[in-house]
């Protein structure tokens, strides 16, 4: 087709109309996107607005105190971090292995079943997971414990880790696997020496997203970790967690506890934000 | 009597229910270059992937027939040993992206259980030298493999395949993603490597086959139509279809 013919068939006014339509459409999309992030921005702003006045060194370094006496959430922050680390230690190896099974083997029926279970699990209300762990771990072991809390969090994280690592493994080009096999690598060697290192950044990103979700969960900890007003230096004992502490304080009738609840919420949001930024950084620096 | 390095007899291959190779018979002499030519989709890649048993890693893929390499029945060997005996270079350079130049070349040896650092280092140097890459990378062995140019990456892949000391080197259109200068360097390299290795090279480029191959095999729709000395296949082919193909009438 010659450009000259185009000039004759396409009316100049038409191009102007098309450009205008294009701009209008781009504007609508931008507006809708803004509308979608607005609630998030509002929540963030409000949590900062209410939580910031309570931020102090004491909040991060001292134990909860009775109303009227200034206190902090140090034990809850440490408790949350310890439980989430333990949960990750349990969930990550299992979840990544499930991801490997889903992406790399050819057992269609088993894979569909595992995928279905993962999807059901990630749709299960978290309080149900808490109850399950209560029945399976807390009751037999004779009491609430930080360990049972991290088991509940581990179960909660499992489907996210499994499905995200499956996706990441699928993104590794077949040609790399074939190159590994062509060098005389066994399947295990190809998985461990080629697939995992190549997919590492994506797997870590998935882990971090699961971690940031687990950090904020309250319901699964209610019948497991239970919460504690003191330091719990033993994971077989009830353990404080930031979301539980926020929950307890928010329900209390005291103004100073309400302030602490907001500051605790701000701390949770800040940790989640930091983890998410870190996840983005990881996925950007590698590959 | 001429000795035979690779012997293929009645080789059939399937993807699921699709038979894509319909009984191939071929003999290849040691330290020679055999070019596989033919239009897209005629089964060239499938054929060489049957030689190192990579074909069977595709889900649903199947093979029947015989392949002997150095007198051993490939389909009675452990596939891991087969692939150590028969190296492969792919169409697009595919170095392992998270690894350094050194680690790329050393990986096959590590797979085979070589741990001694001095031996690894010596073999990596030898392999890179054989692939005509040593001088360009000797001062940057621990830099990422992806920092190399496309042509260098392909020579790295050749070095990687040579490191495990195979007898045979399979190359699947190794220059189709490369510029003319890089292509020329790989062709020169093939000429040098054939003093040590038996080489089977798939190529889309008939001039390339004419330049580097001792023997040329023409495939069409999963059949081996004709095989013979390269000059004969290109100048006085026995089969009309070969003549049409090499004279550029189709494909
Ligand atoms: N992974 C696969 N699954 C199913 N069919 C395939 C696959 N790879 C190749 N084929 C088919 O096998 C035939 C031969 O392909 P191939 O060996 O790649 O040809 P060539 O390398 O000569 O272009 C083609 O018809 C192709 O469509
Ligand atoms: Mg091909």
* Confidence tier at A14 by pLDDT (50, 70, 90): confident
For residues A232-254, give the mean pLDDT: 93
Question: Lowest-confidence range among A11-25, A76-90, A230-244, B132-146?
Answer: A11-25
Structural domain spans, chain A = 77-241
Closest partner residue to A175 (CB to CB) among B81, B92, B112 is B92
Determine the distance from the C-alpha atom of residue A204 to the mean position of all C-alpha atoms in its chain, rounded to a whole number.
11
CATH number of B6-94+168-246: 3.40.50.300
Q: Nearest 5°: CA angle at B190, between B86 and B32? A: 65
Res A8: pLDDT: 61
Structural domain spans, chain B = 6-94+168-246
Rg of chain A, C-alpha, whole Å: 25
* Residue A9 in this model has a pLDDT that exceeds 80: no
For residues B63-89, give the mean pLDDT: 96
Question: Does A286 lie at the interface with B, CB-CB under 8 angstroms?
Answer: yes
Over residues A159-202, the pLDDT tens digits come to 999 999 999 999 999 999 999 999 999 999 999 999 999 999 99
CB-defined contacts A:B, below 8 A: 69
CB contact under 8 Å between B88 and A287, yes or no, is no
The percent of residues in chain A predicted with pLDDT above 70, rounded, is: 96
Mutate to test the pocket of ligand 1, among B39, B45, B47, B174 (most ligand atoms within 8 A of CB): B45
Pairwise CA distance, residues B169 & B5, whole Å = 12
Res B82: pLDDT: 97
Res A11: pLDDT: 76
How do strand B61-69 and strand B6-15 relate by DSSP bridges?
Answer: antiparallel
What Cα–Cα distance (Å) separates residue A238 from each residue in A90, A224, A226, A235?
Answer: 19, 8, 6, 7
Which tokens sit at A259?
């302030």
Strands of B29-148 (E only): list them: 33-37, 61-69, 72-73, 86-89
What kind and span of H or E run contains B224? strand B223-229
- Residue B201: CB atoms within 10 A of its CB come to 26
Structure ipTM? 0.94
Nearest CA to B43 out of B55, B59, B33 is that of: B55
A239 backbone dihedrals φ, ψ, rounded to 5°: -130, 140
* Residue B4 in this model has a pLDDT that exceeds 90: yes
In CATH terms, A77-241 corresponds, of 3.40.120.10, 3.40.50.1220, 3.30.360.10, 1.10.3720.10, to 1.10.3720.10
pTM of the model: 0.88
For residues A53-66, give the mean pLDDT: 93
Identify the three-state secondary structure at position A143: coil
* Residue A230 in this model has a pLDDT that exceeds 60: yes
How do strand B215-220 and strand B223-229 relate by DSSP bridges?
Answer: antiparallel
Residue B183, ligand 1, Cβ within 6 A: no
């Amino acid at each position: 087709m010659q450009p000259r013919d185009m000039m004759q068939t396409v009316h100049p006014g038409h191009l102007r109309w098309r450009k205008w339509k294009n701009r209008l459409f781009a504007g609508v999309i931008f507006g809708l996107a803004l509308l979608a992030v607005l609630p998030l921005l509002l929540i963030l702003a409000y949590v900062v607005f209410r939580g910031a006045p309570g931020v102090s060194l004491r909040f991060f370094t001292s134990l909860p105190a009775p109303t009227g006496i200034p206190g902090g959430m140090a034990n809850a922050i440490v408790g949350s971090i310890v439980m989430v680390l333990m949960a990750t230690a349990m969930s990550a190896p299992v979840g990544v292995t499930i991801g490997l099974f889903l992406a790399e083997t050819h057992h269609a029926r088993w894979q569909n079943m595992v995928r279905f279970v993962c999807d059901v699990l990630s749709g299960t209300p978290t309080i149900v997971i808490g109850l399950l762990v209560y029945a399976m771990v807390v009751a037999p072991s004779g009491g609430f414990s930080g360990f049972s809390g991290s088991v509940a969090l581990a179960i909660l994280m499992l489907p996210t880790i499994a499905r995200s690592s499956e996706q990441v493994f699928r993104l590794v080009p077949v040609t790399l696997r074939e190159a590994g096999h062509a060098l005389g690598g066994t399947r295990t060697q190809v998985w461990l020496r080629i697939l995992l290192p190549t997919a590492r950044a994506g797997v870590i990103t998935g882990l971090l997203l699961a971690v940031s979700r687990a950090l904020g969960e309250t319901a699964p900890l209610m019948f497991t970790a239970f919460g504690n007003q003191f330091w719990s230096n033993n994971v077989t004992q009830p353990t404080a967690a930031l979301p539980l502490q926020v929950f307890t304080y928010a329900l209390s009738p005291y103004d100073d506890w309400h302030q602490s609840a907001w500051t605790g919420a701000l701390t949770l949001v800040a940790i989640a934000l930091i983890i998410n930024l870190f996840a983005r950084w990881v996925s950007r620096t590698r590959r | 009597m001429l000795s035979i390095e690779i012997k293929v007899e009645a080789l059939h291959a399937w993807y699921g229910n699709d038979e894509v190779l319909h009984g191939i018979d071929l003999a290849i002499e040691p330290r020679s270059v055999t070019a596989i030519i033919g239009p897209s989709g005629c089964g060239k890649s499938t054929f060489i992937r049957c030689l190192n048993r990579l074909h069977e890693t595709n889900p649903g893929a199947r093979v029947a027939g015989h392949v002997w390499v150095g007198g051993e029945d490939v389909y009675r060997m452990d596939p891991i040993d087969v692939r150590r005996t028969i190296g492969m270079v792919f169409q697009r350079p595919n170095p392992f992206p998270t690894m350094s130049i050194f680690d790329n070349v050393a990986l096959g040896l590590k797979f085979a259980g070589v741990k001694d650092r001095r031996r690894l280092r010596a073999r990596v140097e030898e392999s890179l030298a054989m692939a005509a890459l040593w001088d360009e990378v000797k001062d940057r062995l621990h830099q990422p493999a992806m920092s190399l140019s496309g042509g260098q990456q392909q020579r790295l892949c050749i070095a990687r395949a040579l490191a495990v000391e195979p007898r045979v080197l399979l190359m699947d259109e190794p220059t189709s993603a490369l510029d003319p200068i890089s292509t020329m360097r790989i062709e020169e390299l093939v000429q040098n490597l054939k003093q040590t290795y038996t080489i089977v090279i798939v190529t889309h480029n008939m001039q390339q086959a004419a330049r580097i191959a001792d023997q040329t095999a023409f495939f069409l729709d999963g059949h081996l139509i004709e095989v013979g000395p390269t000059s004969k296949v290109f100048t006085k082919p026995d089969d009309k279809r070969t003549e049409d193909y090499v004279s550029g009438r189709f494909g």
